[in-house]
Amino acid sequence: MSVTASLVLFLDPLAFAIVGGGTVVATVLRTPARDLTRSIVALKAIGRTPFDAGALVTQVEALSRITARHGVMQLDRSVITDPDVAAAMGAIVDGADGEVVRAVIEDRRTARFERQRAAAETWAAAAEFAPAMGMVGTLIGLVRLFTSMTDPSAIGGAMAIAVLATLYGALLGNLVCLPVAARLKRLARAECVERGRLADPLARLATREAPQLRAVAVA
C-alpha cells in the first residue's frame, strides 16, 4: 500500500466536519466578536520574533536631544510610527508632567496586553473544545454503528467516524490550537515587558520639559 493510500485511510469528511465545525461553533458562542477578530488577526504575529523596544528607546533618546536643543515643539515635526510613543509625545507637547506621561504609557501597555491575552485565550478555548468535539464525534459514530448492525457495509464507516473523530480532536487541540495559544501568550508577555522600558525615558523627558511649557503658557 502506498503512502498516499495509507493517508487516505485517515481521512473522513464527516468526522472532520463534526470536530472542526463543532470547535468553531463552540468557540464563537463563547467568545465576544471583537476577541474573535483579534484572534484571527493575531495569527500574523505567529512567525515574528519577540518585540524589542530597543529601537523605540533609542528614538525617544534622540527626540530628547532634539527637544533639549530646539524646544519641545519640534516633536510635532517628528515622524513617530509607534502609537504608544506618539501618544506620550502628544501628552508631553501638551504640557503633561512625568507622572501623567508614565500613566499614559502604562495604561496603553496594559490595554494592549489585555487585547493580546484575549486573543490567546480564544485559541486556548478552542484547544479545550476540540477534544470534546472529538468525543461527540465518537458518540455519533457509535450510535451509527449500533443502528447499522444489520448492515455490514455500514459498520466500517461508522467505526471510522468513531475512531477518527477522537484522533482529529486530539490533533486539532494539541498540535494546532494549543501551540498557537502558547505562542501568542509568550509574544504578549514579551511585548508587555519590553514596552515597560519606554516609561522611564519618556517620563524624564516630560519632567524636564513641563516647567518650560508652563512658563511659556504663563507668559
**Model-level pTM?**
0.84
Q: What percent of the chain has pLDDT over 90?
A: 60
What nine digits make up the cell of 23?
470547535
Query: Domain boundaries in the chain?
Result: 12-42+52-213
The answer to whether 51 and 190 have CB atoms below 8 angstroms apart is yes
Determine the pLDDT at residue 210.
Answer: 66
Average of pLDDT values for 59-84?
84
111 vs 151 pLDDT, higher one = 111
Determine the pLDDT at residue 212.
Answer: 56
Classify 80 in phi/psi space as left (phi over 0), alpha (psi -120 to 50) or beta: beta
Output phi, psi for 51, to 5 deg: -60, 135
pLDDT averaged over the chain? 87
DSSP secondary structure letters along 152-216: HHHHHHHHHHHHHHHHHHHHIIIIIIHHHHHHHHHHHHHHHHHHGGGHHHHHHHHHHHHHHHHHH
